Structure 1
Amino acid sequence: MTKTIRIAAALLVDPAGRTLLVRKRGTQAFMQPGGKIDAGETPAAALVRELHEELGLQVDAQQAVYLGQFSAPAANEPGFEVQCELFRVDSSDAVAPAAEIEEVLWLAADEAPARVLAPLTRDVILPLYRQVLNVPR
């Protein structure tokens, strides 16, 4: 039986239409900002908390547009699957990597990242992002 990690993540989009990917310290894969949903916490509340802890962003939960629930193999925990509650967040605020975030990367929709991507980011979220912005691959 696959073990599941429940997370809330942001498809964070800047005014230029780029999306933000983050890499946690000691890992290779870039992924959406966000993190685990604590017991008793709503996905939107987890998203707001994680974006503040990881990037210093102040996001109102009302600004987050729910895009759906998606699953994929976890990038950093072998044998686990991530179950992601995904929200679109549009923000023009500067981000500063904090907590466990080592590196951030702004990615244009028509850009193919020459980086290692988490399975959920590569297989699900980036194609969805390109579809939302109607950008050919």
Structure 2
Amino acid sequence: MWGMHSGCAAYPGRMGVITVSAICFERADGTVLTVRKRGTDRWMLPGGKPEGGESAAECAVREVHEELGVEIAISALEPMGEFETVAANEAGFALRASVFRTRVEIAPRVQAEIEAARWIDPAVGIDDEAEAPLNRELVFPLLLGERSRS
């Protein structure tokens, strides 16, 4: 499923847009890895902003390596979608996120600007105000919808 999903009906054209790439790491038990950056209070999918010339997948792989010490092959990623919502930690900004998913088993090490990591069930995270809007409004409902159909 590679399409545009929007968590905010329409955001004003004047609002700044932050573009990111992220990876939804899913464990066999259905939990998803979320991380919290130092100095913030919102949990988000691991990832970050692209550097010049990087594809969305290359950005996601680089960011996860920098933040969690996890090396993952682009071939292990499956596009989950292009999502738009409000940014979690930058007030007044919209977020445009290319989200990939993988079930590759990882042992994340918190490093760089990441202060904490946790595995959370989307059924719990969807109601957790500390989870970023991207997760609560778009990614977790998508995962829970898949879960209910299987």
Q: Secondary structure at the match of 1:120?
A: helix
After TM superposition, the score normalised by the length of structure 2 is 0.83
1:20 alignment partner in structure 2: 33
Give the superposition deviation at 1:133.
2.8
What's the counterpart of residue 55 of structure 1?
68
Unaligned runs of 5+ in 2: 1-13
State the shift of 1:10 in Å: 0.9
SS where residue 64 of structure 2 aligns? helix
Cα deviation 1:96-133 (Å, max 9, x = unaligned): 11111111110124334645111111111111121233
Q: Provide the C-alpha distance between the structure 2 equivalents of 1:85 and 1:110, rounded to a whole number of angstroms.
A: 22
Match of 2:148 in 1: 134
| Distance of 1:30 and 1:116 partners within structure 2 | 6
TM-score calculated relative to the size of structure 1: 0.91
SS of the residue 2:148 aligns to: coil
Measure, in 1, the Cα distance between the counterparts of 2:70 and 2:146. Answer: 23
Superposition deviation, residue 64 in structure 1: 0.5
* Distance of 1:132 and 1:60 partners within structure 2: 25
- Give, in whole Å, the separation in 1 of the partners of 2:122 and 2:91: 29
Mean CA deviation greater in 25-34 or 15-24: 15-24
1:61-105 CA distance string (max 9 Å, x none): 011000110011111111111100010021212111111111111
**Structure with more strand by fraction:** 1
Identity %: 36
Query: After TM superposition, what 4+ stretches of structure 1 lie above 6 angstroms from structure 2?
Result: none
Q: SS state of the match for residue 123, structure 2? A: coil
> How many residues in Structure 1 have an aligned counterpart in Structure 2?
135
Q: Which moved more, 1:115-124 or 1:75-84?
A: 115-124
Give me the whole-angstrom Cα distance separating, in 2, the residues matched to 1:108 and 1:78. Answer: 27
- In the TM superposition, 1:82-93 aligns within 5 A as 82-93=95-106
Q: Which residue of 2 aligns with 1:46?
A: 59
Please tell me whether the aligned partners of residues 109 and 133 of structure 1 are also in contact (alpha carbons under 8 angstroms): no
Deviations 1:15-70 (A, max 9, x none): 32210011000000001111001121100000100110111111000110001100
Residue aligning to 1:36: 49
Residue 87 of structure 1 aligns to a residue whose secondary structure is strand
The CA distance in 2 between the partners of 1:115 and 1:2, in whole Å, is 23
Tell me the distance in 2 between the aligned counterparts of 1:18 and 1:115.
17
